[in-house]
Amino acid sequence: MRILVYIEHVEGAVAETSLEALAIARDLGGEVEALVCSTNTTALAEQLGAADRVIAAEIDGADIYLPSLQLAALNAAIAERSPDLALLTYTTAGLDLAAPAARTAGWPLLGNVVSLKMDGELLVAQAQSYGGKLDASSSMPIPGVIVLMPGADRAENAMIEGTPPVETIALRNEAPRMRVLECLPPDRSGVDLTQCERILCVGRAIGGTDKL
């Protein structure tokens, strides 16, 4: 089985959600390929030791997220590499790209997935709906497109040393329909909840911080 994982990256760093997707792919077994859309594939490939191969789509402007460019690369990779599964994550990019890629390939699509396993010729997925209040089990034949929820695996499980070989896919360098005027970084001056040991959630009815 061949699994294609769409890799998201920001400022030269692979996104944790993409590492989680790589960990899921490795657990499924088979050959894992990481699709990277960038003008600096080499630096990103060094962070993708969990993949057996990096598929590079080197397009001008690909280091800033533009859906049309990324979708062209994903469609080309699916057509050229013929994977059994294409894995994306539940992010802006995943929501933008998964459905049109599945439609172009003529493949089924499963979203909100938290775990995957093979059962004979079928892929069995556990998914969450209604904010995690409903767990659903689905099965589908492969090939298909999967959108994974953040936290489906641990990013650390894909942090493996080594640089996989890189292969480039050919793309037409067409001008995108939109362009980025400016990138504004998020305000990081507030509290970083990911660094807190405990998070206590209360309602306004408590009356004030002195009641905590």
Tell me the pLDDT tens digit for each residue of 168-197: 998 876 677 777 888 787 787 888 877 888
Longest dimension (CA), the chain: 62
For position 131, what pLDDT does the model report?
75
Instruction: Give the tokens for residue 80.
Output: 């050229």
- Evaluate if residue 206 carries a pLDDT over 90: no
Q: Is the dihedral of CA 178, 43, 50, 53 positive or negative?
A: positive
Q: What is the pTM of this model?
A: 0.86
Give pLDDT, residue 174. 67
What pLDDT shows up at residue 40?
85
Preceding peptide of 143 cis, ω within 30°: yes
Per-residue model confidence as pLDDT tens digits over 90-140: 999 999 999 999 999 999 999 999 999 999 989 999 998 877 788 889 999
Q: Which H, E and C letters describe the chain, residue by residue? A: CEEEEECCEECCEECHHHHHHHHHHHHHCCEEEEEEECCCHHHHHCCCCCCCEEEEECCCCCCCCCHHHHHHHHHHHHHHHCCCEEEEECCHHHHHHHHHHHHHHCCCEEEEEEEEEEECCEEEEEEEECCCCEEEEEEEECCEEEEECCCCCCHHHHCCCCCCCEEECCCCCCCCCCCCCCCCCCCCCCCCHHHCCCCCCCCHHHCCHHHC
Q: For the CA atoms of 184, 185, 186, 189, what is the dihedral angle to 10 degrees?
A: -120
Percent of the chain with pLDDT over 90: 62
Determine how β-strand 2-6 pairs with β-strand 85-89: parallel
